[in-house]
Homo-oligomer: A and B are copies of this chain.
């Protein structure tokens, strides 16, 4: 019997992980503050505030999982890059990990981020590309991943580290770049971006969830990029959004060539494809058009954040 403890099950990605885990034969136990929402997804729910002292140990004792998939973290838009909550999440994640391993747990997968990598215009390769996070968030994640790997080698359990890149989904409130552009176009406002030639690796969030579930069910060890492997310029994203909304007039590509200051955040997906055996189902452009169409029909899923800016080097 494979029994997995999932944290962050009601988050943006977590919601897309439960189904694929069940499809793989896992008995899925979700530890979160609102377990009813996890139960609605098909998981066994356990009420837990994982930032509280001892909460991780408690839920491990109740569930006795063979697998741990730890996605929970503070990802409050805008704040999470710099939030001291990153320090508490590192500590509570290590407490949860230690309790899991002491209770006989076999395999752990945790969520890392593309923000661990040093800036590079080349595809980012696990175990090869330089790591040099420019934010407290990226540093906290990198540190947790390093300790996970060293502890797994030490105590002999199986561990992987899924590095999320950028994701897009239909039920994402317009607090991030793509949903904010869609919301603007739907209101009839012209859109623009300051760094149109920045190239970003975007993946449909349902694919990202399925990829993380596949990683959890595999025996692959170490860091694995969870990404599409394809970079899209912000220019092409804005153009697709305006086109799909039937308002191509609301976006005009800037003149000229990709400028010197542009950056790329694009993954190598060889490990995900060849070792985990996962290939995304949903091409990004078609998916983006679907999301725009869904919003045209029913409106955005939440209030628009006026502070949204370009996405750059940092991460999801």
Contacts and interface: CB of A to CB of B under 8 A. Distances in A.
A94 interface: yes
B90 A90 contact: yes
B98 A87 contact: yes
Greatest chain B CB density within 10 A among A82, A101, A139 is at: A139
A236 to B, nearest CB: 33
A144 B150 CA distance: 14
B87 A94 contact: yes
A146 interface: yes
A135 B151 CA distance: 9
Given A88-B98, A95-B88, A82 B154 contact: yes
Nearest to A144: B143
A155 interface: yes
Interface in A131-167: 133, 135-136, 139-140, 142-144, 146-147, 149-151, 153-155
A29 interface: no
Number of copies: 2
B136 A84 contact: no
Contacts of A107: none
Nearest to A84: B98
**Size class of the A contact interface (CB-based, 8 Å):** 20 to 34
Contacts of A94: 87-88, 90-91
A147 B154 contact: no
A150 B141 CA distance: 12
A224 to B, nearest CB: 19
A46 interface: no
B151 A143 contact: no
A59 interface: no
A140 B147 contact: yes
Given A84-B101, A95-B88, A98-B84, A142 B133 contact: no
A133 B143 CA distance: 12
20 contacts: A53-B54, A82-B154, A84-B98, A84-B101, A84-B151, A86-B147, A86-B151, A87-B94, A87-B95, A87-B97, A87-B151, A90-B147, A91-B91, A133-B150, A136-B147, A136-B150, A139-B146, A142-B143, A142-B146, A143-B144
